[in-house]
Amino acid sequence: VLPFPSQVVYNRVGKCGSRTVVLLLRILSEKHGFNLVTSDIHNKTRLTKNEQMELIKNISTAEQPYLFTRHVHFLNFSRFGGDQPVYINIIRDPVNRFLSNYFFRRFGDWRGEQNHMIRTPSMRQEERYLDINVCILENYPECSNPRLFYIIPYFCGQHPRCREPGEWALERAKLNVNENFLLVGILEELEDVLLLLERFLPHYFKDVLSIYKNPEHRKLGNLTVTVKKTVPSPEAIQILYQRMRYEYEFYYYVKEQFHLLKRKFGLKSHIRKPRPRPEFFIPSPLETEEPIDDAEEDDEKWLEDIYKR
């Protein structure tokens, strides 16, 4: 009898802790005997209709139970007649994600002194050493829209409008989070993400937190930390905030849903004093420990309803 659900897709958002999670998944797949399906394609997130059909076909015919992972924008399996899998993902503060990616492309991480040269061999020296403040303040393409509109398309999908910063893509991304994702976690609270994954998908994630906390694994995970990161000036960060308005609306929406989920299952957030936010931001997510209205709802029934979506 296959575990339920037996088809899971982790369409991992770049620079949101996914290499750490994939390291864990490799250990877990051997430990629990599920089929971990990975991809060697790391830089093609947007697919043509034929490419979508081909990828969905390949994923759907994988031996179950499987967990498929790749950097790819949301795929609607049912549109092509397939069974919609359970989706999971993790996001992080948009400015921090952008900065991590900016310096990773240039200088890599601690796994190898030269791995960044392999990833971006054609990058010119003046581009590699371009000051982050100059990039932002002088409006270089890498530091302006649409390049900064990055997280939302992973949840909005493959429609061309999903790549256009605006309300349409934002609302569609929220809808997909509600209807197709079992869990979208926050990297800043990774241990709680892992706890909930273990609760929701035990065949895949049982014992994940103890593995994550193991000193040997922590040592391995530290090698994926981006090197040579610097912090932009306050003026540059404020400009990034303004350019990433929709990304932040989505981030705080997901964070609010994640905190509601944690409270439902008895996990208390360790609330830090929030950083000042520009005036355009939506109100803070719920950050109190007051009980929610539907606390009497049966947890297992709630999970079953999620799986049936």
Q: Which residues are catalytic?
A: 71
Q: How does DSSP assign 86-132, residue by residue?
A: EEEEEE--HHHHHHHHHHHHHH-BTT-TTHHHHHSTT--HHHHT--H
Q: Where on the phi/psi map is residue 145: left (φ > 0), alpha (ψ -120 to 50), or beta?
A: beta
Strand stretches in 167-264, DSSP E: 181-186
Contact 152, 169 (CB under 8 A): yes
298-303: list long-range contacts, CB under 8 Å, 24+ apart: 299/264, 299/265, 302/264, 303/200
Q: Tokens standing for 189? A: 């609270």
CA–CA dist 19, 21 (Å, integer): 5
CA–CA dist 58, 52 (Å, integer): 10
Q: How far is CA 44 from CA 11, 191, 231, 254, in A?
A: 12, 29, 29, 24
* CA 91 distance to own-chain centroid: 4
Enumerate the β-bridge partners of residue 87. 9, 181
